[in-house]
Amino acid sequence: MWLQAGRAWDLVNDFWNERIVRFDADRQLALLERLGFDEPDWRTLGLGLAASLASFFVTVSVFLAWKFRRPVRDWPARLHAATAKRLARRGLTAGRTEGPVAFLDRAAETLPDVADDLREIRKLYVALRYGPRPTDHEIREFLSGNFCRCAGYNLILNAVRDVAGLSTEKR
């Protein structure tokens, strides 16, 4: 066994000496000729190095931009999570197998003082999760009885448009 280990070490040592230590100018020119550079000069080598580095950094940047891209906003899930968090403060938590709609129904039965609000949240959750994307007119109609048209109305309107996946441009 020690004999084999010694031979393996000699093989590694020979590789190091032959490929790394003895990689002199003649071998470098031979390698460049095999790569297609017949008479390389510093300008050609510099441009090749710059192009290689640029392509490497562009590739790494594209990969990192893809890997760390912003996640898709799941607004109905965020709406339910915020509601569940507030209901947990009142001692009501969702069961392990209870979906958002069933949880909101149970919460409305358990907490009659906020039952109307929970039914509105349930209706909004179902509309956003399972219904078609609402039109701008439907959003304005939904908000008409719930919010005054004070200075914050456009902010609320734009937030609901954003949740619904509509553009937040002024209409």
Quick one: pLDDT at residue 145? 67
Taking phi over 0 as left and psi of -120 to 50 as alpha, with beta for the rest, 165 belongs to left
- pLDDT tier at 109, thresholds 50, 70, 90: very high
Q: How far apart are CA 143 and CA 155, in angstroms?
A: 12
Q: What is the pLDDT of residues 28-86, one digit of tens each?
A: 888 888 888 888 888 888 988 999 999 999 999 999 999 998 877 777 888 788 888 98
pTM of the model: 0.46
